[in-house]
Amino acid sequence: MPEKKYKIAIINPFRPDGLARTIFDGILLLNKIGYNFDFRISSRFDYPLLLNDHFVSKDQFINFAKDADLVFLIWGKDNTDIKLAEIIDCWRKTVFIDGSEVGKNRRYDFIIQKKIIDGQYQDNGAINREMLKKCPLYFRREKPYSTGIEPLPFGIETRYLQSYDKKIKKDIDFFCVFGQEEYPLMRRYARELLEAYCAKNGFICHTQKTKTPKEFYQLLARSKVGISVGGGGYDSFRFWEILGNNCLLLTEKIDIFESNSRMLNYKRIFQFNNLFDFQSQLEKIGNYLKTEYKASNLEKEYEIILKQHGTHSRVKKIFEVAKSRGIV
């Protein structure tokens, strides 16, 4: 637990952002368990979180930021408020939090990957070289994590747990629902293969979009296995929602954190590179469900996952790195 009260000025982008929500949720969670973060937010959005007391006027925010321990400058698609960071002019303590992704199917494009590495790519998903130079800390949701950049993916948000209880009956075998199935098409084909497999082998699967978030989380909480395929970036809400509801996770090959990281080395995770592997893993998991699966056996690992990947862990990571570099 921090030995002092930390003041954080959060420069919110001019539009809602998933990584921003991750950070807000994490700070609120840490304050609930005894941490002491005093934070202010520069612009207002209707996130499903208790944030109203933390929004202030522009002048109040600037004064608070100049006296804060850290300034979080959060990326927003074409809406990063760099001008406000320039007015505050406290770059020595500014943390750039980059939640960008290349979008659509571009993450599979090796030409774009090479341009990002070379610093020649300027669209969404590029490394912001100006911020990398100006800010002592740069956290990034998607690869690459070049020198000076730390990985910071989404995490398990509080709202993901709204329907889960360890006593809940896991009566749905497979859950596979995506917001869109065009980018990449692997989403659509994985769903179709799953539906065919379940129909043939007598498994129950849910693959239809739900009418409300509440219904979505109720169904996911009842599911034994969740399917995740990244969208415009690898890192997706679905990946963390599935882990947050104590499900087995069948996922496209993990492509967050460093390649040698063991941060997601869990027995419940099954990975696939392509649809051939997806089909093979389906059969492996199907056999496991029929012969070995017991929800109670997953509880111990589930508690470890919540500790390591709840949103509070993302905020703690920022402060751990800031401390190690002498910024706070």
User: Mean of the per-residue pLDDT values for the chain?
Assistant: 96
What pLDDT shows up at residue 45? 79
Cβ contact 125:103 at 8 Å = yes
pLDDT at 1 over 80: no
Question: SS3 of 154, please?
Answer: coil
Q: Right CATH number for 159-308 from 3.30.450, 3.90.1070, 1.10.10, 3.40.50?
A: 3.40.50
pLDDT confidence of residue 50: 85
Q: Percent of the chain, pLDDT > 90? A: 93
Q: What is the mean pLDDT of residues 74-80?
A: 92
Whether residue 220 has pLDDT greater than 90: yes
pLDDT category, 244, cuts 50, 70, 90?
A: very high
As a whole number of angstroms, the distance between CA 153 and CA 306 comes to: 14
Q: What band does 46 get if pLDDT is binned at 50, 70 and 90?
A: confident
Instruction: List, for residues 143-179, the tens digit of each pLDDT value.
Output: 999 999 999 999 999 999 999 999 999 999 999 999 9
What's the pLDDT tens digit per position in 257-315? 998 999 999 999 999 999 999 999 999 999 999 999 999 999 999 999 999 999 999 99
31 contact partners, CB below 8 Å, separation of at least 6: 37
Provide CB contacts within 8 A for 109, sequence distance 6+.
102
Q: Write the CB contacts of 71 (distance below 8 Å, at least 6 apart in sequence).
A: 8, 9, 10, 11, 65, 85, 88, 90, 93, 94, 95
Nearest in space to 255 (alpha carbons), one of 94, 48, 102: 102
Residue 131's pLDDT band, with cuts at 50, 70 and 90, is very high
**Equal CATH topology for 6-155+310-324 and 159-308:** yes
Q: Which of 213, 219, 208 is nearest to 170 (CA)?
A: 219
- Which sequence spans correspond to the domains of the chain? 6-155+310-324, 159-308
For the chain, the straight-line distance linking the first and the last C-alpha, in angstroms and rounded, comes to 14
Instruction: Characterize 104-118 residue by residue with b for buried, 16 or more Cβ atoms within 10 angstroms of its Cβ, and e for exposed.
Output: eebbeeeebbeebee
H-helix or E-strand containing 18?
helix 18-32
CA-nearest of 311, 314, 313 to 161 is: 311
For residue 322, what pLDDT is reported? 97
Question: What is the rounded distance in angstroms from the CA atom of residue 201 to the CA atom of residue 92?
Answer: 59
Burial zone of 199 (CB within 10 Å; 0-12 exposed, 13-18 middle, 19+ buried): exposed
Two structure tokens written together for 294: 């017991």
Parallel/antiparallel/unpaired status of strands 248-252 and 70-74: unpaired
pTM above 0.85, yes or no: yes
Cis peptide before 48 (omega within 30 of 0): no
CA-atom Rg of the chain in angstroms? 21
Q: Tell me which of 15 and 20 has the higher pLDDT.
A: 20
Closest C-alpha to 135, from 60, 68, 74: 74
User: What is the fold of 6-155+310-324?
Assistant: Rossmann fold (3.40.50)
Q: Give the per-residue pLDDT at 3.
A: 61
